[in-house]
Copies of this chain bind each other. A is one copy, B any other.
């Protein structure tokens, strides 16, 4: 998967040819969705989908969308990757609650210029990630769009009622851990916004891949929640700085982050070294990491490490603590700064 994406040749969307158009697209989705899970009583094709619930387990529901010109450009992004990402960003929200995904709904606003082959690729990406998470694509909606392509996914999961991971459960003294690495997706986005020369080489490939395809931390969130190994959790959609602020705000605590401890992705660090930027600051404010931030009471530290080992040896790093002070700071060794935050998706006119 490498940019730039060149639209494949083929038929264009039949949305302007009456109902038959929409119905035929739904049929293409049904073909690609595969066989549903056994708890899907009724899948694609009726007014609504019907799903068995899990006895004693509440539903956990979230929705998130990718918008052309805000979250992606079609020239950059293979349609299959878009479909995968639209699912993964929603699964990331379920992961942050400790929930197990069961089903997704897909709502599409389609510009008529979208090639049918790109539509098929997009659906295949959606179906592939739904399938990898053992959840079913059970329904959705298709409308035309007079502007951008909009991919809205709703994810439905289940969680143990007393093991839901809220962002508000942190206490002063809890240790803050982040899974995986941070910064590579933001570096990848910078490369896409830059020149073709920026997108050459191994480091670039690693950052771009990470921008296209977020990690899946579903088993990680579920295992930590199941073992009650954390007091709070949040996913990193708008950067570590933003996530720490939100967790501290919801928990009524402050937070202190150790800049030297941050697991900045190596390829991203190399990129920012080459551009002369401050890698720490970039990585803390860069969005779309889709890693998990956990608050862990010190006495659950070992249980937390065991849970992440069980979840498939997911790497994790201690990055700081929640504090009693009502402010969020980053210690750099010499001094203490206010914790940077404030990632914003790029906004371009697409027409």
Which residues of A are at the interface with B, using a C-beta cutoff of 8 A?
Answer: 16, 18-19, 41-42, 45-55, 57-65, 67-71, 92-94, 96-97, 99, 103, 105-107, 109, 112, 138-141, 143-148, 150, 152, 154-157, 159, 161, 164, 166-168, 233-235, 238, 242, 250, 341-345, 347-351
Bound Cα distance A70, B16 (Å)? 12
Contact (Cβ within 8 A) A65 B107: yes
Contact (Cβ within 8 A) A147 B147: yes
30 A-B pairs (CB sep. < 8 Å): A16-B344, A18-B344, A19-B242, A19-B344, A46-B168, A46-B250, A48-B60, A49-B62, A51-B58, A51-B60, A53-B57, A61-B139, A63-B106, A63-B141, A64-B107, A64-B141, A67-B143, A67-B145, A69-B146, A70-B146, A109-B148, A143-B345, A144-B345, A144-B347, A145-B148, A145-B150, A146-B147, A146-B347, A147-B350, A147-B351
Q: List 9 A-B pairs, minimum CB-CB distance, nearest first.
A: A147-B147, A48-B62, A69-B146, A53-B53, A47-B96, A47-B93, A154-B154, A63-B105, A51-B59
> Contacts of A159 on B, CB cut-off 8 Å?
50
Query: Which residue of chain B lies nearest to A235 when distances are taken between CB atoms in the complex?
Result: B47
Which secondary structure dominates where chain A touches chain B?
A: mixed
> Contacts of A242 on B, CB cut-off 8 Å?
19
Known: A19-B238, A51-B60. 9 other contacts (CB 8 A): A48-B155, A49-B61, A50-B159, A51-B59, A67-B144, A67-B145, A107-B152, A109-B148, A146-B147
Contact (Cβ within 8 A) B166 A46: yes
> Contacts of A138 on B, CB cut-off 8 Å?
61
Q: Closest Cβ of chain B: how far from A285's Cβ, in Å?
A: 10
Bound Cα distance A90, B47 (Å)? 9
Q: Closest Cβ of chain B: how far from A137's Cβ, in Å?
A: 12
Bound Cα distance A64, B16 (Å)? 19
> Contacts of A68 on B, CB cut-off 8 Å?
146
